[in-house]
Structure 1
Amino acid sequence: MSQVTLNIGGRNYTVSCGDGEEAHVRDLGRLIDDKVKAVTGGRPTPEAQSLLFAALMLADQVHETSSPENDSEEMADALERVANSLERCAQGLESGRPAS
């Protein structure tokens, strides 16, 4: 397991990821940071609220890109993985420890 530090909304978060996935996780972190900046407009916003809105925007993008041709079971699995990741992140934020 590797650890990557992401800067999201002006704060650093250390997350664990599989070996070789570091660049991908950094790219995802930049995407989330862009969404946080978009929803906050640079205004001070509670951290959990900012991350929630960013997650909702990303989930909406996933939803919009889905089409009837996509296998609904595959989409449900992907959304479940996203939900589990968000839950781990939220737990890490609440406990003050890195998400894994």
Structure 2
Amino acid sequence: MANVTLPIGGRPHTVACRDGEEARLQLLGQMIEDRWPTALRAAGGVPGERAMLFVALMLADDLEDIRQRPPEGAAVSEPALARIADRLEALANALERDAAP
């Protein structure tokens, strides 16, 4: 078992982890530290639990954004393509009508 000290918000936090996971834990700690100034402002400048809550909310928001993205290279279904084509055709017709004298 290894111990890693993470400097977050100007305070050291020592956390235990499995041997070999130190670098990953340091990376995760840096993600928290990177968001700390914004979280501290959101918490009214008061460090502690509230600021850490804001860090957690920011990270959760980032995670949810990633979850909502379609997978890279995701194919669009045939019915979806047909609906898009119908909409584009309707828009083109409307533009032609508006442009006609």
Please classify the TM superposition score into its range, dividing by the shorter chain length: 0.5 to 0.7
Provide the C-alpha distance between the structure 1 equivalents of 2:49 and 2:36, rounded to a whole number of angstroms. Answer: 11
Of all paired residues, the percent bearing the same amino acid is 42
TM-score scaled by length of structure 1: 0.62
Provide the C-alpha distance between the structure 1 equivalents of 2:45 and 2:10, rounded to a whole number of angstroms. Answer: 11
- For the pair 1:21 / 2:21, whether they are aligned, the reply is yes
- For the pair 1:58 / 2:50, whether they are aligned, the reply is no
Higher relative CO (CA 8 A, sep ≥ 6), structure 1 or 2? 1
TM-superposed CA distance for 1:69, in Å, is 5.9
| Structure 1 gaps, min length 5 | 71-100
- Structure 1 runs of 4+ with >4 Å offset: none
Match of 1:79 in 2: none
CA distances 1:18-70 after superposition (whole Å, capped 9, x unpaired): 110001100110110111112224x7413111111000000010011003767
Give runs of aligned pairs for residues 39-58 of structure 1, distance below 5 A. Answer: 39-41=39-41, 44-58=45-59
Match of 1:30 in 2: 30
| Structure 2 gaps, min length 5 | 72-101
> Aligned Cα RMSD in Å?
1.8
The aligned amino acid for 1:56 is L
Give the number of the structure whose alpha-carbon radius of gyration is greater.
2
